[in-house]
Amino acid sequence: MKFFMAPTPLILFEEQQQQQQPGLLLHLLKFLSIFLLSILFLRRLSRIWSKKTSLPPSPPKLPFIGNLHQLGDLLHHSFRDLAQKYGPIMLLHLGQAPVLVISSAEMAREIMKNQDTVFTNRPALTAVRIVLYQCQDVGFAPYGEYWRQMRKICVSDLLGVKRVQSFKFVREVEIDCLIKKISQSCSKGSPVNLSDTLLTLSYNILSMCSFGRKSEKVDNIHMFGKLSREVLQLLGAFSIGDFFPCLRWMDVLTGLIGRLKRTTQQLDVLFDGIIDDHLKKGEIQNSLDNKQDFVDLLLHVQREKKLSIDISKDSIKAIMMDMFLGGTDTTATATEWAMAELLKSPNKMKKAQEEVRRIVGKKPKVQEEDIQEMEYLKCVIKETLRLHPSGPLLLPRESITSTEINGYTIPPKTRVYINAWAIQRDPMTWDKAEEFIPERFSESTVDFKGQDFELVPFGSGRRSCPGMSFGIAVVELALANLLYWFDWELPNGELKEMLDMTESFGFTVNKKIPLHLLPSHYVA
């Protein structure tokens, strides 16, 4: 007895497959052939491409965080240590950001001279965008017409040699105030916090040159100096969004964005008041007078409309922020390190003081014209900048297009850090590289003006620091006066050889422990 059973969908499918089996097998074979050939072709292309796109050496990385776990608090030290193992051109993956680290003069020349146009851009970092009015400054503005014209204004009108000379009276007045303040400590027999004293000097000089008044007179308190220091600290803070764009929102949760905005808004109010005061006083003249401060000059350029770009009020404020961030802590730090190194080397301190005192003689004050004759003082400053560049990692660059360096392919949008600190301590270039030896520059033509890539504290090329002449003029005059008027000791009979030289990393690298010294009047 047979049961009748209607065909199920599975049975119908099997029957259909049996009818179409020869056609399916043929299609399957064709598909597999094409698939295998595609794999072979892609592998061949991959090999060819890998040869053409050979990336620089890189340390092993972890998933997601990349090489971040290999970095310590002092980035320039961490970069140098890794470069000693992986070479002077090294690719790191800091989170999702590819970072090229340069640690030799030869590679620095390739970046800042031979391929300067490829690496002229700056990465738009979180703190920079907020603090510098969406990068309307000179230091971080994107490469283009706006940046070219704003840099031209800074180099020719604000920070050129003639303009720096025109502010000679400001430097002399403020340094006279510094000497009087230290003299009071001499009379009391009390030590001086030289770190704070030099920072105040820098702020006052830059405030007078920028605003026509001292920083402590802004709002009748040291508000501007206080806020500027906060900005410098925030610029050196870790931003999650800069390394993990997909986690940018976490910078809000950590409070970084809030702190940046609050501090910048407070500074913005001060800037607005200063600009409005200049406008009300009618201090903008039809010609560029040497007595004008920086705000006058920028307002003059804005009013004349001689440029093909629009200079907004925010542009002016961004430039002013550049001046203070790049010109205060850096000059104070350089002078502080010079004094610390000389104090640790009594023979060199004596040699520098004898030169300054011999050239100045019995004049009532140290004049800038005298400094041109102080060869050893200049050597001391060069050696200080070699060992202690204020910015040990030059401001980061970013590749505009793909390029090749030393046989390695550098993809576009790669951040580039040039480790000036490591380059300037390279034992392959410098004899006794870790020692403070100003005499090494006595017979050397190597200078810090951007042509000698073994000494690049101010960078080189299109993105070099436009404020170099302004900063050096302050450091030279301040150091010459400190050496001329006073003899220096560590308080409480501390040994000079034991002076702590530990660094503190931020936007600039200064002494972790402020320099407290006991001055005494020099008696001829």
pLDDT, position 72:
93
| Sequential DSSP letters for 91-107 | EEEETTEEEEEE-SHHH
pLDDT band per the 50, 70, 90 thresholds, residue 384: very high
| Predicted pLDDT at 255 | 95
- pLDDT tens for residues 74-118? 999 999 999 999 999 999 999 999 999 999 999 999 999 999 999
pLDDT band at 508 (very low <50, low <70, confident <90, very high): confident
Q: What is the pLDDT of residue 333?
A: 94
The whole-number average pLDDT for the span 412-434 is: 97
- What would the mean pLDDT of 395-423 be, rounded to a whole number? 96
What was the pLDDT predicted at 1? Answer: 39
Contact between 429 and 105 (Cβ < 8 Å): yes
Read off the pTM.
0.86
Residues 418, 456: Cα–Cα separation, whole Å: 9
Structure tokens at 136: 């309307």
Over residues 489-512, mean pLDDT: 85
Q: Which of 193, 103, 106, 155 is nearest to 420 (CA)?
A: 103
pLDDT at 314 over 80: yes
Q: What does the alpha-carbon distance between residue 236 and residue 308 come to, in Å, rounded to a whole number?
A: 34
Single-letter code of the amino acid located at 295: V
Instruction: Give CA–CA dist 517/343, Å, rounded.
Output: 10
Other CB atoms within 10 Å distance of the CB of residue 84: 12
394: which DSSP letter?
P
- Reference 337, options 475, 151, 177, 477; nearest CA is 475
Which residue did the predictor score with more confidence, 290 or 134?
A: 134
CATH superfamily, domain at 109-521: Cytochrome P450 (1.10.630.10)
The annotated binding site for heme is made up of 465
Question: Which pLDDT belongs to residue 485?
Answer: 96
User: What is the spatial distance between Cα 418 and Cα 430, in angstroms, rounded to a whole number?
Assistant: 18
For 32-73, what is each residue's pLDDT tens digit? 666 666 566 655 655 554 455 699 999 999 999 999 999 999
The four Cα atoms 215, 220, 222, 225 give a dihedral, to 10 degrees, of -40
- Strand extents, DSSP E, 257-354: none
- The lowest-confidence range among 325-339, 451-465, 475-489 is 325-339
Q: What is the dihedral of CA 122, 128, 131, 134, to 10 degrees?
A: 50
Q: Is 315 helix (H, G, I), strand (E, B) or coil?
A: helix
Q: In this structure, what DSSP letter does residue 499 have?
A: -
202-247 pLDDT, tens digit each: 989 988 888 877 655 444 335 777 787 788 888 888 999 999 999 9
Question: What distances in angstroms separate CA 327 from CA 184, 233, 320, 477, one per listed residue?
Answer: 27, 15, 10, 15
Q: Residues forming the annotated binding site? A: 465
